[in-house]
Amino acid sequence: MTENAVHEFAVKLHSGRLLFGYYESDATAHRALAEVAPDSYAGVWRGLNPLRSDSRLLSALNAPLQPRKHRAGAEDIASRAALLLDFDAICPRDEMSTDSEHGAAIAQAGQCSEWLQSLGWPRQKQVNSGRGCQLHTAVSLPADSSTDALIRNLLRSLKSRFALIDAGMHDRPRLARFPGFWNRKAKSPTSERPWRMAKLMDSGGCGLVTHEQIESAIAHIGLPALTQSRTTETPDPAKVQRTIERLAIYLDKIGVALKEIVPLSDGRTLLRLSHCPLDATHTGSSAGIGVSAAGHPLNFCKHSSCSMPWGEWRMAVELKHGVRMNLESRLIFSGARASENYSAHTRFCCFG
């Protein structure tokens, strides 16, 4: 843990309920985690990056783990202290991996670590996540849009060479599995797909990876071109109107003002917002969401830390505000009910 820094910790209970805490040392976090019944949780995570000293979350510093209306957002992060390379086992989404699938993820993580060391990177901390494998690299980089883009490009680049890397693990408030606690992602483990403990495999070497070393790694592989599939949608004006109405209700619940509704020439509709729901510092014409001609919601935010597919963006917003977005019905849950009503298969995009 970064010296004299506070990190976010999260616990997901088997019920789907989320507990959060903010601790200035791993030892303090362990004492809080000891109060959680050993058989009651599905997983435990720790934030990669330290919180700002003026973050509103520090009002709960070293307090017991408990449900909270808000969790850390990009604006709460003081700096980038670590990079996460998460190697996902190839297995059904809501199940544990087999020993063979798990071993393949660990093996590819080792190959990636060796390749990065050949470029002058220090040996990375390696964590057996219980379902796959994670590499952690120490850095000291600013928490800004330039670094956001750098890390996103690194993951995109590495994934073209190491296919099991999850390229979505680039956001500032990223959480990663905390070693010493069970990964019980599956509701019902089997002898072939058992629950496993997350464990530290290698504490890694000394030294920080620099901005220049990251750029060099990207240059060695090259940056894959972004491809965007275009499908022909049947316009559905009635559904567009319903989606806009439900988005407006949701935005009001989380305190984001809908400033303007703008029909675009390609049939889509832009909803200009007072600020991005993920990061209140993102304002102006680049902060917005949209609706396709067929009535499907879209993420239009152009800021690098928020530029992600709608599904991933939506889940990040729901987790940040504690309010579930349900555009298929008129029911929108809030507060504790939002967490309690999450289906067990939901994959929170901010969790590694």
**Domain presence at residue 351:** no
Determine contact, residues 311/60, Cβ cutoff 8 Å. no
Q: Where do we find the tokens 């849950």?
A: 333
Q: How confident is the model at residue 106 (pLDDT cuts 50, 70, 90)?
A: very high
Question: Looking at the predicted structure, is the pLDDT value of residue 144 above 80?
Answer: yes
Determine contact, residues 194/102, Cβ cutoff 8 Å. no
Same domain membership, residue 81 and residue 200: yes
Hey, what's the torsion of the CAs at 294, 295, 298, 300, to 10 degrees? 90
pLDDT tens sequence across 76-92: 999 999 999 999 999 98
Residue 96 CA: distances (Å) to CA of 16, 42, 197, 280? 17, 12, 12, 36
| CA distance linking residue 219 with residue 304, whole number of Å | 20
Same domain membership, residue 245 and residue 184: no
Number of domain units in the chain: 2
Three-state DSSP state, 187? coil
Question: Looking at the predicted structure, is the pLDDT value of residue 66 above 90?
Answer: yes
Question: Looking at the predicted structure, is the pLDDT value of residue 346 above 50?
Answer: no
- Counting every residue, how long is the chain? 352
pLDDT tens sequence across 205-224: 989 999 999 999 999 998 77
Same domain membership, residue 269 and residue 137: no
Q: Choose the final residue of a domain: 197, 221, 245.
A: 221
Question: Looking at the predicted structure, is the pLDDT value of residue 13 above 60?
Answer: yes
Question: Looking at the predicted structure, is the pLDDT value of residue 333 above 80?
Answer: no
pLDDT tens sequence across 147-189: 999 999 999 999 999 999 998 889 999 999 999 999 999 988 9
**Residues 289-312, mean pLDDT to the nearest whole number:** 82
Q: How confident is the model at residue 328 (pLDDT cuts 50, 70, 90)?
A: low
- The CATH number linked to 91 is 3.30.70.1790
Q: How confident is the model at residue 118 (pLDDT cuts 50, 70, 90)?
A: very high
Same domain membership, residue 97 and residue 199: yes
Determine contact, residues 150/217, Cβ cutoff 8 Å. no
| pTM (predicted TM-score) | 0.69
Same domain membership, residue 189 and residue 271: no
Q: How confident is the model at residue 301 (pLDDT cuts 50, 70, 90)?
A: confident
Question: Looking at the predicted structure, is the pLDDT value of residue 279 above 90?
Answer: no
Domain of residue 121: give its range: 7-221
The runs of H, that is alpha helices, within 45-121 are 99-118
**Beta partners for 10?**
20, 45
| CA distance linking residue 269 with residue 299, whole number of Å | 11
| CA distance linking residue 111 with residue 97, whole number of Å | 20
The runs of H, that is alpha helices, within 222-349 are 237-253, 310-321, 335-340
The pLDDT of residue 306 is 73
**Domain presence at residue 227:** no
Question: Looking at the predicted structure, is the pLDDT value of residue 230 above 50?
Answer: no
Residue 79 CA: distances (Å) to CA of 7, 11, 138, 150? 11, 23, 12, 14
**Domain presence at residue 283:** yes
Which of 15-19, 23-27, 157-161, 308-312 is predicted with the least confidence, judged by mean pLDDT?
A: 308-312
Q: Choose the final residue of a domain: 221, 245, 268.
A: 221
Question: Looking at the predicted structure, is the pLDDT value of residue 342 above 50?
Answer: no
Tell which residue, 127, 125, 77, 122, has the closest CA to residue 213: 122
Q: Highest mean pLDDT: which of 44-48, 70-74, 142-146, 240-244?
A: 44-48
The pLDDT of residue 24 is 95
